[in-house]
Structure 1
Amino acid sequence: MAINFQVLASDIIKHIGGYSNIEHVTHCATRLRFTLKNVAIVDEQVLSELQGVIKIVNTSSQFQIVIGPQVEKVFTAMTALQNPAALTDPLPGATEKMSLFNRFLSNISAIFTPYIGVLAGVGVVKGIVVLLQTMHWVATDTYIFTVFNMLASGVFTFLPLFIAITAAEKFKTNRYIALALTAAMVFPLTDPSMPSTMSLFGLTLSLKIYGGAVIPAIFAVLFLSYVERYLKKVIPEVAALVFVPCLSLIITGFVVFTFIGPVADYIGIGIANAYIWLYELSPVLSGALLAGIGQLFVVFGVHWGIIPLALVNIQVHGYDTIMAMFMSAVMGQFGAVFGAIFIARNAKDKQIAISASISAFFGITEPALYGVTLKYRMLFIFGCIGASLGGAITGLLRVKTYSFLPVLNVFELGLFSGPESKMIYEVIAIAVAFSVPAILTVVYGKTLMKRSLATQLTQPK
């Protein structure tokens, strides 16, 4: 039966407590992610039974409704509703306080998830560029290659502009001032005549370090939100139109380029170096552990607390190993749900497994997790076993990716090609991660079927 997205959106808002209970809402590839004022008034039972809702995930940082690949249609329908007053008003209740860590996860998710699809699409384009270059299909000075390269590189170079839009919404500041600020941060990259560094009071300040910068951009917009709110209080309304943006940019700009930017850049370097230090303690163990538990982060919806580390690694070191491991985590659940197709006991279960397998093939594992593998726990365990083996291989062979992989699927394997290209090893790793749980699932299912049949034959009639 086809889903009526307008009805589903209206029902979600109604049973989540109404518009006035929603502090912030965004979506990723498969989930609606809510920051609510009072979770206690949400009717989780009714929400979980709505047609089109796969799962409710209520974490301490966010209230999440897993929809699947059609989540954007539901989100669009929610924002298009014209009569929010007709929905049930929420009951009175205190706004819940979140811990610092949970607030961090909520902010990171809200900042990155709105443009996850664009990053995933650009990742495929980047893979095409790598293939064109490594296979020598076209010369690098041709028009075709140049256009592909610009399309693949522009987003990641000017990523602070994307961060500005969503961070401005999250931190409740003017998005156009935020865009102007982050545009100033990346402007030196566009002007060859501008020096890379400048001296101030004996300190050397770098100017061309903000291309693809994540942490400096987030902190810059966060600081801007405080400056803008203060200026709106002290500047008369008649002059606010001009002088709030003007002074916000001047004050924030000098503080960002002098202090926040360099400090945030060093924080990013420190995080990247700390990860590399931990990774080097035992690449095999790191790969097996991260890949093995990778899908648990997805189950609880907190994977966006880890994934941005890959962006930081690429900015600092030029490569990343986290996503190489997480690719095996995705393929492990893909293998388990694919195996479930061959042991399904009825047409409905088989159809669910087929649909979830298609989503998992494209890197979206929530339908597989909530529709199949978590329902039959051994299948989830088989997926984690395969993922651990694949992750151990990527760690042992030190597989790296040279561009960010927001959605992990085979169409982005080209991004594993680089200065120390080990793409073939990643192919081996994901083949193992897929095939082991697929085989274990089939064997497990056939064994259960034989036991069931044997029990029926031996029972007295």
Structure 2
Amino acid sequence: MAKVTKEAVERIIEAIGGKDNIASATHCVTRLRFALHDESKVDKEALENHELVRGSFSTSGQFQVIIGQGTVEKVYKEMMAITGMEDSSKEETKAAAEKNLNIIQRLVKTLADIFIPIIPAIVTAGLLMGINNLLTAPDIFFTGQSVIDVYPQWADLADIIHLIANTAFVFLPGLIGWSAVKKFGGSPLLGIVLGLMLVHPDLLNAWAYGEAQEAGEIPTWNIFGLEIQQIGYQGQVLPILFASYILAQIEIFLRKRVHDSIQMLVVAPVALLITGFLAFIAIGPIMFTIGDAITSVFVGVFDQAAAIGGLLYGLIYAPLVITGLHHTFLAVDLQLIGSTGVTFLWPILALSNIAQGAACLAIMFVTRNENTKGLSISSSISAFLGVTEPAMFGVNLRFRFPFICAIIGSGIAGMFITINNVVAPAIGVGGLPGIFSIQAGGWLAFAIGMVIALIVPFVLTYLWAKFKKVEV
């Protein structure tokens, strides 16, 4: 990596439109994060040719410049000294960047801010479910039998692992409630209580709702002649999202009007009581119906045209990442898992990440630039482990054709695994480790899909660079 000098940092500042174009700036482990007044003033060609810059991209109203771990701190410190700006927190830069967003972008960012904090819990659950699959699924190590069939003494261990893994999904509304109410400006603790209230053990389990409805045995409350079904919302996303917004708004309204001396006695009880009634009377049933309709649409498309569905989602997922719209599909994945027990979308995501890594790796074999070689190998490893930003924005989009080759490979691989009914009971690590989160019985097909996602983008990128004689 080139040395960090005052002159080099000044050229970065000039490339992003100068000091006056910076509304706020901060940095993370590898990237400078800017909220700019006008992104059209950015000279991307100058940034791409800068010896300190590994790539740049715009997302969620922020313009981000990839520098690299360790070096980014030196660049940021020098930039603060040159511009005379004060350090900004990530939250301050995010707030400044939100001014650049339209309504759709704000909605997507809101969903991202809600779901990203709970991803570690969900991914951990997915990995643990993979371990449980190894112990309980037949025909993996023994023909027609599972590990616990052959070694019954392992059965209780598998049961405990399943309980630990399943907890995040059973109590998913609690996790979403915490994150959503926090995002909407309310008390996170009340969000947890609201979420757990929707999955209280006294309520009819949401997964048993269909059978109970068919048998006419749905328990109800009768409040002054109004019958309210006692249904839980295990694994559901939409009911807790909307209920969290209502709870936060009621809490904010009350805190502004209730005297400080009695806030503890009034605000939380009233907010929870009103939201609870609304959740069981209107929000829950309406959102449950909408959630089921969304699930039915996706299931119907993939049932009727599996090959087309898998191909299209494989082709569009990486472009969705560029826009940030991919965050909305996390909610769809969770809704599918809550309604059907599995998701057929997430396995395609995992293959898309692998494809981006494969295309990035191919660049290492065709480039003569030592910095690009180092960036390609490190970024491809990152993509194979589920983090595609360095590969996608630092290499593939920079040269464009590797990105195209990657989405072609992802589309073919997505089509293959969808035809073979590959699904995941949980969300895991979106790369090579993703195979552990695939439902037993789909591992071989997914493994073949991984081979496709590795070979097709790599070969296409390599051949494109060689035959087109592209300079990288």
Residue 17 (1) aligns with residue 30 (2): no
Q: Tell me which residue corresponds to 1:356.
A: 379
Q: Tell me which residue corresponds to 1:147.
A: 160
Runs (5+) with no aligned partner, structure 2: 78-83, 141-145, 206-216
**Aligned residues, how many?**
420
User: For 1:252 and 1:50, how far apart are their aligned partners in 2?
Assistant: 55
For residue 422 of structure 2, give the secondary structure of its aligned residue in structure 1. coil
Deviation at 1:329, TM superposition (A): 1.8
User: For 1:410 and 1:335, how far apart are their aligned partners in 2?
Assistant: 11
Q: Alpha-carbon deviations, 1:255-288, whole Å to 9, x = none?
A: 1122211211111111111122232342111111
Is the 1:52–1:67 contact (alpha carbons within 8 Å) kept by the matching residues of 2? yes
For residue 118 of structure 1, give the secondary structure of its aligned residue in structure 2. helix
For residue 186 of structure 1, give the secondary structure of its aligned residue in structure 2. coil
Q: TM-score, normalised by structure 1?
A: 0.78
**1:430 is matched by which residue type in structure 2?**
M
User: For 1:361 and 1:245, how far apart are their aligned partners in 2?
Assistant: 45
User: For 2:321 and 2:306, how far apart are their aligned partners in 1?
Assistant: 22
Residue 186 (1) aligns with residue 199 (2): yes
Is the 2:246–2:275 contact (alpha carbons within 8 Å) kept by the matching residues of 1? yes
Is the 1:331–1:434 contact (alpha carbons within 8 Å) kept by the matching residues of 2? yes
Is the 2:175–2:195 contact (alpha carbons within 8 Å) kept by the matching residues of 1? no
Is the 2:203–2:231 contact (alpha carbons within 8 Å) kept by the matching residues of 1? no
Q: Alpha-carbon deviations, 1:274-306, whole Å to 9, x = none?
A: 122232342111111110121011122221022
**1:145 is matched by which residue type in structure 2?**
A
User: For 2:127 and 2:171, how far apart are their aligned partners in 1?
Assistant: 18
User: For 1:403 and 1:3, how far apart are their aligned partners in 2?
Assistant: 44
Residue 207 (1) aligns with residue 210 (2): no
Residue 158 (1) aligns with residue 178 (2): no
Is the 2:57–2:393 contact (alpha carbons within 8 Å) kept by the matching residues of 1? no
User: For 2:391 and 2:23, how far apart are their aligned partners in 1?
Assistant: 29
**What is the correspondence of 1:104-123 to structure 2 with a 5 Å cutoff?**
104-123=107-126
Deviation at 1:141, TM superposition (A): 6.4
Larger mean CA deviation between 323-332 and 357-366 belongs to 323-332
1:236 to 244, 259, 275: 259
Deviation at 1:44, TM superposition (A): 5.9
Is the 1:55–1:67 contact (alpha carbons within 8 Å) kept by the matching residues of 2? yes
2:432 to 403, 406, 410: 410
Is the 2:30–2:67 contact (alpha carbons within 8 Å) kept by the matching residues of 1? yes
Deviation at 1:110, TM superposition (A): 0.6
**What is the correspondence of 1:55-454 to structure 2 with a 5 Å cutoff?**
55-58=56-59, 62-63=61-62, 65=64, 86-87=86-87, 96=99, 99-134=102-137, 135=140, 136-138=146-148, 139=152, 142-188=155-201, 197-200=219-222, 201=225, 203=227, 205-208=229-232, 210-405=233-428, 407-418=429-440, 421-448=441-468
User: For 2:219 and 2:163, how far apart are their aligned partners in 1?
Assistant: 26
For residue 307 of structure 1, give the secondary structure of its aligned residue in structure 2. helix
Deviation at 1:218, TM superposition (A): 0.9
**1:444 is matched by which residue type in structure 2?**
W
Query: Aligned in 2, Cα 1:255/1:276: closer, same or farther, shift over 3 Å?
Result: same
For residue 65 of structure 1, give the secondary structure of its aligned residue in structure 2. strand
For residue 57 of structure 2, give the secondary structure of its aligned residue in structure 1. strand
Q: Alpha-carbon deviations, 1:168-202, whole Å to 9, x = none?
A: 2211011112222112222227999xx97324446
Query: Aligned in 2, Cα 1:303/1:191: closer, same or farther, shift over 3 Å?
Result: closer
Deviation at 1:354, TM superposition (A): 0.5
Query: Aligned in 2, Cα 1:338/1:240: closer, same or farther, shift over 3 Å?
Result: same
Is the 1:105–1:302 contact (alpha carbons within 8 Å) kept by the matching residues of 2? yes
Is the 1:332–1:384 contact (alpha carbons within 8 Å) kept by the matching residues of 2? yes
Q: TM-score, normalised by structure 2?
A: 0.76
- State the Cα RMSD in Å: 4.1
**1:137 is matched by which residue type in structure 2?**
V
Query: Aligned in 2, Cα 1:94/1:159: closer, same or farther, shift over 3 Å?
Result: closer
Query: Aligned in 2, Cα 1:65/1:169: closer, same or farther, shift over 3 Å?
Result: farther
Q: Tell me which residue corresponds to 1:458.
A: none
Is the 2:112–2:328 contact (alpha carbons within 8 Å) kept by the matching residues of 1? yes
For residue 17 of structure 1, give the secondary structure of its aligned residue in structure 2. strand
**2:58 is matched by which residue type in structure 1?**
V
